[in-house]
């Protein structure tokens, strides 16, 4: 079996190399023989699937035959291993997983090449991209992680067996579901890259790949849920999710894939978000996508756990149309000192002042930020009592409200932090404004419009009184409240002013040029510059 499986892997590699070069040559030339060459490349891609199927079957048969002369079988199987787990040996270790990955990629490529008549030239470009990806994995299984390497010396009488943590029914279906999700996104990636290379007009590549993307997303979703249940039942985490690198590696492509499924509808119906969709599908496929903690930073993960680390209850959801570009809104959120300037209510009611103890925490690369303050610590409060501007506001508004429950707050976390606004680049916001907790997402609706989606939440152990107070505070902060109403207004004003003076520009620096925050102060534009640093990095500006 070892010799047969190894030969099949080498044959698959040779066929993939031929498909890559023959397919590329046929696309670069337009002569009659180029079409024939392209057809041989397509058939070579189909043959790759046959060769890899033979190799995968050989490894599974070796597991059932207890062929411990193969090192991989010796390390991951034994005589007493139940039949379902012998079958699962194929993806129980690194070498077998890579072979299984390569086989799934060949299977998806096989289906693509069978449907080549939907658009022969686009499918030909996509097939070349798939062949290049296939070669990468075949190089790994042939030379770096060979699943048919043999044991040196005498053949062992029995194997080491499968890791006990993996001997669980969901082990038989959880990894295949994840791999079907991971590998499946290669197909829309290949079509997107092929469409870019050939400067394909229109959105037909989206119509072709829509079903691929939806099915792939479903597989990945099922895999994530099964993995969470396995972690809860077997690993004993005390929960379904632990933010470990393996879980994050499945979550990030799921997030970008979900965003792609939604935004691609905008491109189909209105011709919008074309560049955004290309970036989303590239990010979903990319093997360089970092895990979540590396992407935002340890302190930022810690803040998410601080707020979302216990069972939550959704209190409601609503949306707000902003008459400005989405970047203006996110820039506004990442501007930590605007709250006490724009929102006079905050300063007058002693809800948020720059004199309060607080700070800014920048995430990885400066792309993300957390701005926080402690309502109970205000060493410079007298400034608001004596300064002309603030004293005038106090005279106008007074010191209190008729309904004092709006400012009747309690310490949810025991750290005295009463305001925490966290952004995750590009469009996610996690807010803790007193006891008003919410997720926000800025959804672009065109170059001049953004829909701000809010999900207000509390905790499962809240009593009815606390739920009522959280909802009341949510109404104060939400679309009909002073805070978000003013944010929407100022964004619309800036949008209009930008469009009125497109040929002019003005720059006002505050606090330097870098993305580092000012120690002990929130009067800094470092987080704003950090947002634009991330935007420029991804768009190549």
CATH of the domain at 352: 3.90.380.10
Asked whether residue 174 is assigned to any structural domain, the reply reads yes
pLDDT in the model for residue 312: 85
Same domain flag for 389 and 520: yes
Same domain flag for 361 and 463: yes
Taking the alpha carbons at both ends of the chain, their separation in whole angstroms is 54
Is the pLDDT confidence value at 201 over 70?
A: no
Q: How is residue 222 written in tokens?
A: 């099922």
Residue with tokens 């410079």: 380
Any idea which of 20-24, 208-212, 268-272, 524-528 has the lowest mean pLDDT?
A: 268-272
Same domain flag for 188 and 160: no
Same domain flag for 340 and 481: yes
Mean pLDDT of 232-257: 71
Mean pLDDT of 127-151: 93
Per-residue confidence band for 197, with pLDDT thresholds at 50, 70 and 90: confident
Strand partners, 376: none
Mean pLDDT of 440-449: 85
Asked whether residue 503 is assigned to any structural domain, the reply reads no
Range of the domain at 49: 1-164
Same domain flag for 188 and 213: yes
Final residue of a structural domain among 106, 141, 164: 164
For residue 426, whether the previous peptide bond is cis, meaning omega lies within 30 degrees of 0, is: yes
Sheet containing 419-424: which strands, arranged edge to edge?
312-322, 450-459, 436-444, 428-433, 419-424, 369-373, 358-362
Is the pLDDT confidence value at 24 over 60?
A: yes
* Phi, psi of 193, rounded to the nearest 5 degrees: -65, -40
Closest Cα to residue 192, out of 128, 295, 277? 277
More confident residue, 112 or 206: 112
Same domain flag for 338 and 215: no
Final residue of a structural domain among 256, 289, 322: 289
Asked whether residue 507 is assigned to any structural domain, the reply reads no
| Exposure string over 179-192, b if 16+ CB within 10 A, otherwise e | bbbbbbbbbbbbbb
pLDDT in the model for residue 436: 86
Tens-digit pLDDT profile for residues 334-381: 887 666 666 666 666 666 666 677 788 888 888 898 888 887 655 555
Same domain flag for 244 and 330: no
Same domain flag for 397 and 417: yes
Q: 287: buried, middle or exposed (CB in 10 Å: 19+, 13-18, 0-12)?
A: exposed
Asked whether residue 509 is assigned to any structural domain, the reply reads no
Any idea which of 112-121, 133-142, 369-378 has the lowest mean pLDDT?
A: 369-378
Cα gap 391→383, rounded to integer Å:
9
Mean pLDDT of 517-534: 75
Same domain flag for 318 and 464: yes
Q: Tally the domains of the chain.
A: 3
pLDDT in the model for residue 202: 61
Final residue of a structural domain among 164, 199, 230: 164
* Phi, psi of 247, rounded to the nearest 5 degrees: -65, -45
Residue with tokens 């959801």: 317
Per-residue confidence band for 32, with pLDDT thresholds at 50, 70 and 90: very low
Same domain flag for 213 and 153: no
Mean pLDDT of 467-496: 76
Q: How is residue 489 written in tokens?
A: 């207004």
Any idea which of 202-206, 222-226, 454-458 has the lowest mean pLDDT?
A: 202-206
DSSP for residue 512: -
Is the pLDDT confidence value at 143 over 90?
A: yes
Q: Which helix (H) or strand (E) holds 500?
A: helix 482-500
Asked whether residue 212 is assigned to any structural domain, the reply reads yes
Asked whether residue 505 is assigned to any structural domain, the reply reads no
Asked whether residue 143 is assigned to any structural domain, the reply reads yes
Q: How is residue 376 written in tokens?
A: 């109970």
Same domain flag for 340 and 359: yes
Q: What angle do CA 187, 190, 191 make, to 5 degrees?
A: 90
Per-residue confidence band for 206, with pLDDT thresholds at 50, 70 and 90: confident
Mean pLDDT of 125-142: 94
Asked whether residue 378 is assigned to any structural domain, the reply reads yes
Same domain flag for 120 and 56: yes
The helix/strand/coil state of 167 is coil
């Amino acid at each position: 079996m070892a010799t047969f499986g190894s030969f099949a892997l080498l044959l698959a590699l040779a066929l993939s190399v031929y498909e890559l070069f023959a397919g590329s040559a046929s696309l670069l030339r337009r002569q009659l023989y180029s079409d024939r060459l392209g057809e041989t490349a397509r058939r070579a891609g189909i043959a790759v699937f046959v060769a890899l199927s033979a190799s995968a079957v050989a490894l599974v048969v070796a597991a059932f035959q207890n062929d411990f002369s193969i090192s991989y079988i010796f390390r991951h199987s034994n005589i007493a291993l139940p039949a379902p787990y012998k079958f699962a040996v194929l993806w129980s270790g690194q070498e077998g997983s890579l072979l299984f990955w390569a086989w799934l990629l060949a299977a998806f490529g096989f289906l693509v090449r069978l449907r080549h008549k939907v658009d022969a030239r686009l499918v030909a470009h996509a097939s070349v991209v798939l062949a290049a990806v296939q070669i990468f994995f075949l190089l790994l299984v042939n030379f770096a992680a060979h699943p048919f390497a043999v044991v040196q010396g005498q053949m062992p009488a029995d194997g080491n067996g499968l890791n006990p943590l993996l001997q669980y029914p969901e082990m038989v279906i959880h990894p295949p579901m994840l791999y079907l999700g991971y590998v499946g996104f290669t197909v829309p990636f290949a079509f997107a890259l092929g469409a870019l290379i050939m400067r394909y007009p229109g959105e037909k590549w989206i119509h072709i790949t829509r079903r691929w993307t939806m099915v792939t997303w479903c597989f990945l979703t099922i895999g994530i849920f099964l993995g969470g249940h396995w972690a809860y039942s077997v690993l004993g985490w005390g929960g379904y999710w632990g933010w470990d690198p393996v879980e994050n590696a499945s979550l990030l492509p799921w997030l970008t894939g979900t965003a792609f499924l939604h935004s691609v509808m905008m491109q189909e119906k209105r011709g919008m978000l074309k560049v955004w969709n290309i970036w989303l599908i590239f990010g979903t496929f990319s093997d360089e996508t970092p895990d979540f903690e590396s992407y935002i930073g340890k302190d930022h993960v810690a803040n998410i756990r601080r707020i979302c680390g216990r069972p939550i209850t959704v209190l409601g959801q609503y949306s707000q149309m902003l008459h400005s570009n989405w970047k203006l809104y996110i820039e506004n959120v990442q501007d930590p000192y605007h709250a006490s300037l724009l929102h006079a209510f905050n300063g007058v009611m002693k809800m948020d002042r720059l004199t309060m103890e607080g700070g800014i925490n920048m995430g990885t690369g400066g792309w993300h930020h957390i701005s926080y303050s402690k309502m109970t610590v205000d060493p410079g409060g007298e400034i608001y009592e004596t300064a002309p501007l603030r004293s005038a506001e106090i005279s106008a508004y007074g010191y209190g409200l008729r309904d004092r429950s709006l400012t009747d707050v309690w310490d949810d976390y025991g750290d005295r932090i009463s305001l925490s606004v966290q952004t995750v680049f590009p469009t996610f916001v996690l807010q803790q404004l007193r006891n008003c907790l919410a997720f926000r997402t800025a959804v672009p609706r065109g170059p001049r419009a953004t829909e701000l989606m809010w999900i207000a939440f509390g905790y499962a152990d809240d009593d009815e009184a606390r739920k009522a107070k959280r909802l009341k505070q949510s109404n104060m902060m939400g679309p009909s409240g002073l805070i978000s109403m003013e944010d929407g207004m100022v964004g619309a004003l800036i949008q209009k002013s930008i469009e009125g003076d497109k040929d002019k520009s003005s720059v006002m620096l505050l606090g330097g040029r870098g993305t580092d925050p000012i120690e002990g102060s929130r009067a800094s534009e470092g987080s704003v510059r950090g947002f634009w640093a991330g935007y420029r990095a991804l768009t190549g500006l």
